[in-house]
């Protein structure tokens, strides 16, 4: 949420968000960012950076539109704030009879979760 003034975590789907909100992180905060998108990143030595090649993972999961779900999976793995199985239950509840979309969403979540932490391989 852009409302948080000094968050502990930032999940950034694009470089402008990483730059803007990464600079607002509390010292010791953690920035998970979509490393598929190249751009200016905040320069700080007092936070942790976690790259997630979300576009590539989403494509491998079956839909390039599931970048946000991949990032959610990575965030869940980093924080342990909610169990993955709980999110699966919520996905099934929210999507109802849309079996194909449920499976796609669960796959993207699992791939984001299972692949985290991703190695830093940026040029």
Tell me the pLDDT tens digit for each residue of 61-75.
999 999 999 999 999
pTM score over 0.75: yes
- What span, in angstroms and rounded, lies between the C-alpha atoms of 97 and 19? 39
The tally of CA atoms less than 13 A away on the side-chain side of residue 73 is: 28
Q: What is the pLDDT of residue 90?
A: 97
Mean of pLDDT over the chain: 93
pLDDT at 120 over 70: no
- What span, in angstroms and rounded, lies between the C-alpha atoms of 32 and 95? 26
CA 47, 80, 64, 17 dihedral sign is negative
């Amino acid at each position: 949420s852009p409302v948080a003034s000094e968050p502990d975590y930032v999940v950034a789907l694009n470089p402008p968000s990483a730059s803007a909100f990464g600079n607002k992180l509390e010292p010791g905060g953690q920035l998970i960012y979509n490393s598929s998108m190249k751009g200016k990143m905040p320069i700080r030595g007092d936070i942790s950076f976690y790259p997630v090649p979300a576009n590539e993972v989403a494509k491998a999961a079956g839909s390039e539109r599931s970048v946000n779900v991949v990032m959610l999976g990575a965030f869940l793995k980093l924080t342990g704030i909610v169990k993955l199985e709980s999110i699966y239950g919520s996905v099934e509840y929210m999507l109802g009879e849309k079996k194909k979309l449920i499976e796609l969403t669960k796959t993207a979540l699992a791939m984001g979760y299972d692949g985290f932490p991703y190695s830093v391989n940026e040029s």
